[in-house]
A and B are shown apart, each in its own frame.
Chain A
């Protein structure tokens, strides 16, 4: 399979802050790649280097096998981009902005444009200044999806969308993936990446700390159980996929690997359950558990 994005040992320094500290990233053709990390981990900086907005201080990066700094224009012929913080021209209507941005890439597909406006429920006649954050994001999404590209670079594209619009967004990702396009999707929401992505790279403090297919990363996504049950800690603790079992007051507390949930649940029901709390793992817990570090101390990019 062809590699579309390749970065190795990427370094970007802003004054004394090291925003990227030897970051590795590899995205193959046709995959939806999740780029996961807390705010300030270096996701947007990486994307800006890959688009040739910033110039790396060390390491190497290539997109479609070309140098993003020297051959930005050539690369961008096949790229659609949604920035993390969408800012529109205050006196241009949403429709004008969509047309302008797509025309720079060769012009929108009119049927696609019309359908996207309808699906995202976006009024194209409103002026940029009067859109809410979510609607500004929709303008950028319609501009990105209204002309087909080989690579979609989306920086936290759903941060202002409501759940209904998130599902519209997911349909578009599935469409472009079906058309053979590659997607780099940055996010700080684990569940979103789980739903959409084939492979994931997790970054923190400017470095990639995990990368691989989601199945390979299943060990990262454990669900916490807090149960009141006659079953003993020994019974539950020996089940496959159960970790860190302990007793807290009247409760039995333990973590379960995602693919082992079914087995654990049936064992519990057989024994009888009088109360049950199940918590999906948050990204923060994941970082705390795996990298033993407090996220608040991250350097801001």
Chain B
């Protein structure tokens, strides 16, 4: 009975979170289905684009394996791997939220002090996972149905996704048995999900394509990934069920192992002991900048690593686009608008467009680093720092400095990765162009850092929400403003809309952005100097 009570309480705690995950993922599927139906409604268009994809390892790595040219197959190819990642993450966070996090926060102790068996909470979580993933399967079948594709294929694809979800629920529970902190459990879980995606990305990119039948025999790495197994269902073409049995087996084994470990371990303990920290600090941890770096570099590695990966495949993408001779005027116009250029060379246009995107990623890394200041202030960790002979101005500028370093590291890493990618296929022109195009994003990205620092100084209480809102709106305007036929001044409001495509003679806006970044940061420091510290 206690299992039911715990389950109801878990459902109540998740009444907002889980519906957002499930409906959001289903919406992703419905949108993908609708757009594929609209853009490649006819078989000729679909088989054309799928053949381009088969010849482009970067696209295969991103999406997965095509199998046939029916509408359902195209939707499956377009969306399956992404949906699997989303549903995997949903289950990892679910497992941690009701598992290790409860234990870490001491809530589990309260529950277990009642006449409740040690296994009741994880079994309740397991039931919650079954309900959530089951609901997703039903809704996903509906999402496919909205595109009028065969139900048999929709069922295979959706059931595979739901079981991938349960497999990651088990792996997430197991991660919670391994580590002592919810942060650690989530980290392991996210690595497992992204690892499963990356393994099949590598396997699919290295696979043997069969262009006439429009299919792909992936290389071995895809076979060690549950997402790779899900793709092997070849939904809408062959509708194979045996890969689904494979996923189900993984779910059963991982959930069973997690429950077994859980039944044998003491409350608060974990299979891996928590690594103890250093008894003394490194020499670099002697100033606010040293601390800001210490706190920020793990996130920076994720930002820079992710965007560098995109940079690395840029060469392969550009080659494919050039070889495919796409003379779709609409696609060209979109790319030109994104890349702020009127150049007719699709390759160069694509480089500009991707680098504007990377500029937005770099700005996000910078904004996140700057907003750490507010975290320090609200958590009460700023007070002891400012009670030392440390001025507020230098404290704020230290965080701005580290944020600027983050921006530059993302841009340089991506530029260099892209250059290596192009150099590898002998396109040294494009290598230099992509390095330059990455670096020219710096002033625009830094202007976000400066403005966010100003918000921290001037409007501390709403700095975090306002900072991300300003970021989101301006990036949105910058990326898509050109497509909306806005009046001239308005579409240039966003910093990233003012980044020139290289080569250029007009450096005015770039210099102006750099000045804005500096002035805003300085104004933020002055504003912080003049206000009370606030929670």
| Given A103-B286, A104-B390, A130-B274, residue A125 in contact with residue B279 (CB < 8 A) | yes
Q: Give Cα A206–Cα B532 distance, bound, in whole angstroms.
A: 18
Cα A30 to Cα B509 in complex, Å, equals 60
The verdict on A246 contacting chain B, using a C-beta distance below 8 Å, is no
Across the interface, do A100 and B286 meet the contact criterion of CB distance under 8 Å?
yes
**Contact in complex: B389, A93 (CB < 8 Å):** no
| Chain A count of residues within 8 A CB distance of the other chain | 41
Q: Are B381 and A89 in contact (CB under 8 A)?
A: yes
Query: B387 within 8 Å of A by Cβ?
Result: yes
- Which of B279, B381, B383, B387 interacts with A93 by CB under 8 Å? B279
Contacting pair A100 B389 (CB below 8 A) = no
B285 close to A (CB within 8 Å): yes
Asked whether, in the complex, the Cβ of B387 is within 8 Å of the Cβ of A51, the reply is yes
For B, the interface residue count at a CB cutoff of 8 angstroms equals 31
Majority-rule SS of B interface residues: loop
Distance in angstroms between the alpha carbons of A52 and B388 in the assembled complex: 11
- Shortest Cβ distance from residue A103 to the other chain B in the assembled complex, whole angstroms: 4
Chain B residue at smallest Cβ distance from A51: B387
A293 within 8 A of B: no
Compute how far the CA of A101 lies from the CA of B285 in the bound complex, rounded to whole angstroms.
9
Is B286's CB under 8 angstroms from A93's CB? Answer: no
A73-B390, A76-B389, A92-B294 given; A87·B281 CB < 8 A: no
Determine the residue in chain B with the shortest Cβ distance to A14.
B532
C-alpha gap A105/B386 in the complex (Å): 10
A243 within 8 A of B: no
Q: Is A124 an interface residue (CB 8 A)?
A: yes
Do A93 and B532 touch across chains, with their CB atoms under 8 A apart?
no
Is there a chain B Cβ closer than 8 Å to A219's Cβ?
no
Q: Are the C-beta atoms of B276 and A93 separated by less than 8 Å?
A: yes
Task: Check A104 against B533 for contact (C-beta < 8 Å).
Answer: no
- Shortest distance from the beta carbon of A295 to any chain B beta carbon, whole Å: 24
Query: Are A125 and B277 interface neighbours, CB within 8 A?
Result: yes
B379 within 8 Å of A (CB atoms): yes
> Nearest-CB distance from B375 to chain A (Å)?
10
**Complex contact A126–B390 (CB within 8 A):** no
* B414 CB, min distance to chain A CBs, angstroms: 27
Contact with B along A79-116 (1 / 0, CB 8 A): 10111011111011111100111011100000000000
Interface string of A144-171 (1 = CB under 8 A from B): 0000000001000000000000000000
Q: Which residues of A contact B290 (CB under 8 A)?
A: 100
Task: List, in ascending order, chain A residues with CB within 8 A of B532's CB.
Answer: 53-55
How far does the alpha carbon of A73 sit from the alpha carbon of B390 in the complex, in Å? Answer: 6
Indicate whether B295 reaches chain A with its CB closer than 8 angstroms. yes
Contact A73 B389 (CB under 8 A): yes
The answer to the question of A18 belonging to the interface, with a C-beta cut-off of 8 Å to chain B, is: no
B381 partner residues in chain A, CB cutoff 8 A: 87-89
A interface, CB within 8 angstroms of B: 48, 51-55, 72-74, 76-77, 79, 81-83, 85-89, 91-96, 99-101, 103-105, 124-127, 129-130, 140, 143, 153
A-B contact pairs, 5 of them (CB 8 A): A72-B392, A83-B383, A92-B294, A93-B278, A99-B285
